[in-house]
Chain A
Amino acid sequence: MELLFNLFSDYTLRIVAFGSSLLGITSGAIGCYAVIRKQSLIGDAVSHAALPGIGLSFLLIGSKDTEWLLLGAFIAGWIATFVILNINRLSRIKYDNALAMILAVFFGLGLVILTYIQKIPNSNQAGLEKFLFGQASTLLQRDVMLMGIVALLTLLPMIFLWKEFKLLSFDRVFADTIGFSTKKLDLILTTLIVISIIVGLQTVGVVLMSSMLIAPAVAARQWTDRLSVMVILSSIFGATAGICGTLISSSINNMPTGPMIVVVITLIAFVSLLFAPNRGLIWKKVRDNKNKKEINSTIVLSILYNLGVKHKKIFNAHDLNTLMLEKGGLKYSKKNLRKELDKLKISGLVNKHGKNLWAISKKGIDKIRALDYVNGGESYHD
Chain B
Amino acid sequence: MDNIAVKVNDLTVAYHKKPVLWDIDLKIPLGVLMAVVGPNGAGKSTLLKAMLNLVKPLTGRTFFWGESYQVNRKRIAYVPQRGSVDWDFPTNVLDVVTMGTYGKLGWFKRPRKEEKEKAIEALDKVAMLSYSNRQISQLSGGQQQRVFLARALVQDVDLYFMDEPFQGVDAKTEKAIVKLLEELKNMGKTVVVVHHDLQTVMEYFDWVTFLNTILIDYGPIYKVFTEENLKKTYRSAIDSFYKNNRKVI
Chain B contacts for A160, CB-based, 8 A = 108
Q: Are B135 and A225 in contact (CB under 8 A)?
A: yes
* Given A160-B108, A162-B110, A163-B110, A179-B103 contact (CB < 8 Å): yes
Is B92 touching A226 in the complex (CB atoms < 8 A)? yes
Q: Which residues of B contact A309 (CB under 8 A)?
A: none
Bound: A230/B95 CA distance, A = 15
> Contact at A166–B91, with CB atoms within 8 Å?
yes
Chain B residues lying within 8 Å of A161, measured Cβ to Cβ, are 107-108
In the complex with contacts A178-B155, A180-B102, A226-B107 CB distance below 8 A: no
- Please determine whether B76 and A227 come into contact, CB atoms closer than 8 angstroms: no
In the complex, which residue of chain A has the Cβ closest to the Cβ of B157?
A178
| Closest chain B residue, CB of each to CB of A160 | B108
CB distance from B75 to the nearest CB of A (A): 11
For the complex, what is the distance from the CA of A227 to the CA of B86, rounded to whole Å? Answer: 14
| Contact between A36 and B90, CB atoms less than 8 A apart | yes
When the two chains form the complex, which single residue of B73, B74, B99, B100 contacts A170, counting CB atoms closer than 8 Å?
Answer: B99
Is residue A342 contacting chain B, with contact meaning CB distance below 8 A?
no
Among A161, A162, A177, A224, the one with the most B-chain Cβ atoms within 10 Å of its Cβ is A177
CB of A171 within 8 A of chain B? Answer: yes
The residue that B91 contacts in the complex, of A170, A173, A179, with Cβ under 8 A, is A170
Q: Does A82 contact B (CB under 8 A)?
A: no
The residues of A that contact B76 with a CB separation of less than 8 Å are 177
Q: Which residues of A contact B200 (CB under 8 A)?
A: none
Q: Are A176 and B54 in contact (CB under 8 A)?
A: yes
Give A166 to B85 CA distance when docked, in angstroms: 13
Query: Cβ of A169 < 8 Å from any Cβ of B?
Result: yes
Residues of A within 8 A of B99 (CB): 163, 166-167, 170-171, 174
CB atoms of A177 and B54 under 8 A apart: yes
Q: Known interface pairs A162-B110, A163-B111, A225-B135. Does A177 touch B73 (Cβ–Cβ under 8 Å)? A: yes
Determine the chain A residues whose CB is within 8 A of the CB of B85 once the complex forms.
170-171
> Can you sample 26 A-B contacts with CB below 8 Å?
A38-B86, A160-B108, A163-B102, A164-B107, A167-B99, A170-B86, A170-B91, A171-B84, A171-B85, A171-B99, A173-B78, A174-B78, A174-B80, A174-B151, A177-B54, A177-B76, A178-B73, A178-B102, A178-B155, A180-B103, A180-B107, A224-B90, A225-B90, A225-B135, A226-B90, A227-B90
Q: Which residues of B contact A (CB under 8 A)?
A: 52, 54, 73-74, 76-78, 80, 84-86, 89-92, 96, 99-100, 102-103, 105, 107-108, 110-111, 135, 151, 155
What 10 new A-B contacts, CB under 8 Å, besides A167-B99, A174-B99, A180-B102? A36-B86, A161-B108, A169-B89, A173-B78, A174-B80, A177-B77, A179-B74, A221-B90, A225-B90, A227-B89
